[in-house]
């Protein structure tokens, strides 16, 4: 009897973490379907990275578009706002930063569950991590555990007793561990884009660039995207 | 000292249930902000109803737009699909019907939490009910209880210890009880639209029309939208 296909929806922003999740899903035997989301982010660079990564991984890519006017409260959406440039030691410790997009991961996981329910996937994989992160509330393990219950109760698939899990495989890893995992999984890191600004090259000054640089430095590896 | 303003986001489809929630929120002392969602539904009639209801309630209305191509699996989105026309006794008992939009309430509550987090609302109110419903998994009490935990953990507001609840005040009411509640709250029921089809008048044949008609009949009240 042929082995049943295990499908997973992987939320793919185009950054280091979500790309690592895409290859992680493959390594765990899932046939991945990537999901990227336009929500009015400052720049489309990461969406281009998501496309290239999905193609390289041989994964189908769904692009969702959200028109949510109230997200302008975030500096990651409103181009008129200034992106924070904190020293590394201050990132993630001073409360929720201006780059926080209200309820973003809640919405993204919900979209992932919708897609999973539509295509018969048994997992939604999200690249959140709670160690080297910017201080967002929706990056913590308990949040994903709670969403697992929502998935089981609120989808046709889950309600019928079939598996539909919310997986955050990086949630307890620091950036260096993610870089090491990505290298072991042969993620094409040169295709990833983490910078909050949308310049030709990563800015090196935003929270995301600094956390990424620290990850590569601690892992003792060069960043092939630089 | 002036009483603090209590804000609530009310998911407003324009139907009987969500309109009742809008007036319920007002009766409980909330300043309501309505949220309606375009997700490619067959017709825009209910969105027009949502606008008129929000205006009548004196509530701000946010209109979200979702571009989610995979929702075409639902007969409520794909106009080429035929809407089911079951006898009343079969509605909600034969498993998930073709009108099910994968993960719809999961996505809508997530959008509501995002808006609540952005405007400082302490509740998201949703008109789901688990008695006279079409058999959707995302209309049951346990689902909303689980989402309450997601709200507390996954939003800036909840994570900072302020209240952010997911309320489903109709979840244990049948349609007749909802009609009675709506009449007591003086909901302008003539403005509501429940029909899945988008004709000039409600079709009277779809699941939603049949459940609504039963509710008014059992409550012994005429339906002012007919």
A167-207, pLDDT tens digit by residue? 999 999 999 999 999 999 999 999 999 888 878 889 888 88
Q: Which of A34-43, A137-146, B91-100 has the lowest mean pLDDT?
A: B91-100
CB distance from A58 to chain B under 8 Å? no
Mean pLDDT of B92-106: 78
Res A64 pLDDT > 80: yes
Helix (H) or strand (E) holding A99: none
Flag whether pLDDT at B2 surpasses 60.
Answer: no
Q: What is the CATH number of domain A6-219?
A: 3.40.50.620
Q: Does B107 have pLDDT greater than 70?
A: yes
Q: Name the pTM for this structure.
A: 0.90
Q: Does an H or E element contain A105, and which?
A: helix A104-119
Residue A92 has pLDDT above 70, yes or no: no
- Quick one: pLDDT at residue B140? 83
- DSSP labels, A123-144: EEE----SSSS-S-GGGSHHHH
Of residues B135 and A119, more confidently modeled = A119
| C-beta atoms of B113 and A100 within 8 A | no
Which residue from B62, B142, B159 is facing A153, i.e. has the nearest CB? B142
Please check the confidence at residue A1 and state whether its pLDDT lies above 60: no
Domain map (residue ranges) of chain B: 7-219
Q: What is the mean pLDDT of residues B14-33?
A: 97
Q: With an 8 Å Cβ cutoff, is A110 touching chain B?
A: yes
CA B156 and chain centroid, separation: 25
What pLDDT is stored for residue A136 in this prediction?
Answer: 72
Distances (CA, A) of B104 to A95, B58, B77, B132, B212: 31, 26, 12, 18, 21
Chains A, B: CB pairs < 8 Å: 157
| pLDDT higher at B140 or A29 | A29
Between B3 and A44, the higher pLDDT residue? A44
The whole-number pLDDT of residue A134 equals: 60
Tell me the C-alpha distance between A166 and A116, whole Å. Answer: 10
Summarize pLDDT for B56-67 with one digit per residue, the tens.
999 999 999 999
Using the beta-carbon criterion (under 8 Å), do A111 and B64 form an inter-chain contact?
Answer: no
Partners of B95 on chain A (C-beta within 8 Å) are 160
Both tokens of residue B164? Answer: 């952010």
> DSSP of chain B, one letter per residue?
-PPPPPEEEEE--SSHHHHHHHHHHHHTT-EEEEEEEES--S-SHHHHHHHHHHHHHT-EEEEEEEE-GGGGGSTTT-TTSPPP---GGGTTTSSS-TTPPTTHHHHHHHHHHHHHHHHT-SEEE----SSSS-S-GGGSHHHHHHHHHHHHHHSHHHHTT---EEE-TTTT--HHHHHHHHHHTT--GGG----SS-SSS--S-SHHHHHHHHHHHHHT---TT-
Domain covering B7-219 assigned CATH 3.40.50.720 in the classification = no
% residues pLDDT > 70 (chain B): 93
pLDDT at A11: 98
pLDDT at residue number A33? 98
The residue assigned the tokens 């003086």 is B186
Q: Kindly state the DSSP code that residue A202 receives in the 8-state scheme.
A: -
Residue A101 CB-density burial (10 A; 0-12 exposed, 13-18 middle, 19+ buried): buried
Q: Distance of CA A66 to CAs A40, A60, A153, B37, B64, Å?
A: 8, 20, 24, 10, 7
List strands edge to edge, sheet with A60-67.
A165-167, A123-125, A6-11, A30-38, A60-67, B60-67, B31-38, B7-11, B123-125, B165-167
How far is residue A156's CA from residue B99's CA, in Å, rounded to a whole number? 12
Residue with tokens 């699996």, as numbered in its chain: B73
> Does position B80 have pLDDT exceeding 60, yes or no?
yes
Indicate if the pLDDT at residue A138 is higher than 70: yes
Contact A6, A122 (CB under 8 A): yes
What does residue A174 show for φ and ψ, rounded to 5 degrees? -90, 175
Q: Quick one: pLDDT at residue B132?
A: 63
Surface-to-core class of residue B208, CB atoms within 10 Å of its CB (0-12 exposed, 13-18 middle, 19+ buried)? buried
- The H or E element spanning position A34 is strand A30-38
Q: Indicate if the pLDDT at residue B81 is higher than 70.
A: yes
At residue B74, the pLDDT reads: 74
Task: Measure CA of the first residue to CA of the last residue in chain A; give whole Å.
Answer: 47
User: What is the rounded average pLDDT for all residues in chain B?
Assistant: 89
A133 and chain B in contact, CB less than 8 A: no
The ipTM (two decimal places) reads: 0.88
What's the mean pLDDT in A116-135? 86
Secondary structure (3-state) at A175? helix
Of B70, B111, B119, the CB nearest to A107: B111
Q: Does B31 touch chain A (CB under 8 A)?
A: no
Residue of A nearest to B142 (CA): A153
Rounded-to-integer distance, Cα A218 and Cα B2, Å: 53
For B179-202, the pLDDT digits (tens) are 999 999 999 999 999 888 878 889
Q: Which of A216, A20, A35 is nearest to A114 (CA)?
A: A35
């Amino acid at each position: 009897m042929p082995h049943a296909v295990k499908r997973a929806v992987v939320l793919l922003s185009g950054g280091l973490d979500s790309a690592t999740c895409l290859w992680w899903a493959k390594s765990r035997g899932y046939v991945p379907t990537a999901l990227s989301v336009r929500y009015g982010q400052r720049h489309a660079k990461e969406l281009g990275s998501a496309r290239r990564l999905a193609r390289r991984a041989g994964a189908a890519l769904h692009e969702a578009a959200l028109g949510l006017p109230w997200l302008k409260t975030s500096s990651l959406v409103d181009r008129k706002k200034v992106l924070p440039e904190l020293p590394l030691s201050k990132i993630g410790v001073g409360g929720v930063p201006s780059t926080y997009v209200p309820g973003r991961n809640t919405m993204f996981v919900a979209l992932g569950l919708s897609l999973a329910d539509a295509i018969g996937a048994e997992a939604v994989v999200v690249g959140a991590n709670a160690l080297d992160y910017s201080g967002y509330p929706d990056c913590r393990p308990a949040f994903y555990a709670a969403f697992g219950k929502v998935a089981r109760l609120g989808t046709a698939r889950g309600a019928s007793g079939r598996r539909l899990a919310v997986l955050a495989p990086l949630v307890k890893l620091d950036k260096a561990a993610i870089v090491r995992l990505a290298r072991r999984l042969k993620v094409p890191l040169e295709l990833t884009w983490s910078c909050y600004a949308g310049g030709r090259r990563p800015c090196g000054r935003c929270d995301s660039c600094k956390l990424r640089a620290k990850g590569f430095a601690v892992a003792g590896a060069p960043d092939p995207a630089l």
